[in-house]
Amino acid sequence: MKSASSADSAASTSEIFLLDGQTLNIATLWRLANRKGVSLGLAPQAVAAVRESRDYIEKRMAAGDVMYGVNTGFGAFSSVVISSEQTVELQKNLIRSHSVGIGEPFAREEVRAMMILRANTLARGHSGIRVSVIEKILEFLREDLIPYIPCQGSVGASGDLAPLSHLALALMGEGELLGEDRQPVPIAPVLRARKIVALELQAKEGLSMINGCQVMSAVGALACARAQELAKLFDLAGAMSLEALRGSRLAFDALISDSRPHRGEKISAKNLRVILAERSQISDSHRNCHRVQDAYSLRCMPAVHGAGKDGLRRVVEVLEVECNSSTDNPLVFAKDGKILSCGNFHGEPVAMALDFGAIAVASFGSISECRIAKLINTHMSELPAFLTKMGGLHSGHMIVQVAAASLVSENKGLAHPASVDSIPTSAEKEDHVSMGTIAARKFKKIVDNVEQILAMEFLSSCQGLDLLQPLESSVAIEAAKLKIREKVPFAKEDRIFAHDLRAIVELIRNGEILQAVEAQEIQLEI
């Protein structure tokens, strides 16, 4: 995803998205979380639904009904009835006691996404809270008051209890903000200085703030948005490696993918055909080489890249359902006259999807590393060993491939599903949990790793293509290589390649490589 520019900042917002609990998608969430020219409001129909839900709760309270989380304790204390005079204290105690997050804080954009998702699920009108609760979340977002939320401490049981409690604690004026140096900043003085009134939680509202999967969903959604953009670039990097290795384009013929019509495979084959649209000087140079088949990492790109794209598409489907779901407990159905205890807060749907996404993204890095290994190996290419003309004195890309291999191996461990684990909590009351937030954090780390592997393949494939000069490749590939060469010149001798990789990662993140290809009237699909 492209990084925000000053023209895209919240200060120059040109669009308002109204939260209604029904229509939020990952693309919009990404723009909102990264403050890319969109601001938030609350849809009128959501306001009406939330008020109806709250009115019903208050009616039942006035009638003396006992309702879980409204006038009872929580979890294993659910049988303890709380007096009406203590309901406000009950909600505050819940948030304070559940704020047990540990570890490094989530990133600012991730916390924004959590806040947006929490507001959106509350906007559905099944939580029995006041409209002012949602409005307070939106106020914090407008003021860029981002809570400090530690990333560890959730098992994805009744949702993300510990991290969401840190979010609610900030709204109460008792928590901490995420400082520019990623250190915690006490919130109370900030609120006083800005004359912002903290939220006073009423009956049911503390529980409604923390029941649900908004932490795992936010982290997973933002990582998935990045992964889908990387998926396009892996097709480009793979095509560049194919050309540098003088590989065949025949394996991308539409007849082949039509005979096995997985959507992702067809898209990947099409992307490769578009990138390699016309015969190039490089392809002409080996037209009569009599090579029958390339290695799998070249020939099977449509199948492997396509499977990864299909996996990510499924993750998006699950997350977008979750983004627009009611995940509280109990749920309030005012029109039906029911308040129902349930398990919609359980993170299993999200956890399984993110575990699948982790496997899908890891596959991109695995096949990419195979291509890097081919580029440096004289038994697999016609290029100089390790992509240097002075091997021995210079090591070339020897350790570039080693670094890629290390990340691929790290991803193998990270891709082990978190959702297959469970551990009883809350005195066996919550005896099966999802580990969904662990799945989300692992998924994000794999996305980070494969982004680095992608940069490594771009580095090595560009070096290989330059070693074939004066022969040129296709228009798309030459455009991408030229963009990379603006920041990373051809390596005539050894240098600190870590600096080159940082520059290429920046080009990936700000979208410049993809833009260079699209400027040739070429559109790559997901």
Q: For tokens 């560049």, what's the residue? A: 240
- Furthest-apart CA atoms within the chain: distance in Å: 88
Write the DSSP symbol of residue 76: G
Rounded Cα distance between 74 and 80, Å, is: 8
Rounded to whole angstroms, the Cα distance separating 276 from 308 reads 21
CB neighbours of 510 closer than 8 A, spacing ≥ 6? 2, 3
Beta bridge partners of 177: 147, 185
Question: What values do phi and psi take at 163, rounded to 5?
Answer: -65, -40
Beta bridge partners of 394: 391
Q: What angle do CA 471, 472, 478 make, to 5 degrees?
A: 155
CB-side exposure of 280: number of CA atoms within 13 Å? Answer: 28
Which residues are paired to 41 by β-bridges?
A: 18
At position 104, the amino acid (one-letter code) is: E
Measure the CA–CA gap between 167 and 215, rounded to whole angstroms.
Answer: 10
Which of 56, 68, 148, 296 is the catalytic position?
A: 68
CA dihedral 109, 113, 115, 116 (to 10 degrees): 130
**Which residue do the tokens 């938030």 mark?**
40
Burial class (CB in 10 A: 0-12, 13-18, 19+), 291: exposed
| Residue 341 amino acid letter | S
68 is catalytic: yes
Q: Determine the 3-state secondary structure of 227 from DSSP.
A: helix
Contacts of 386 (CB under 8 A, 6+ apart): 376, 395, 396, 397, 398
Pairing of strands 184-186, 176-178: antiparallel
The three-state secondary structure class of 17 is strand
DSSP for 349-387, written as a single string = HHHHHHHHHHHHHHHHHHHHHHHHHHHH-TTT-SSPGGG
Catalytic sites, residue numbers: 68
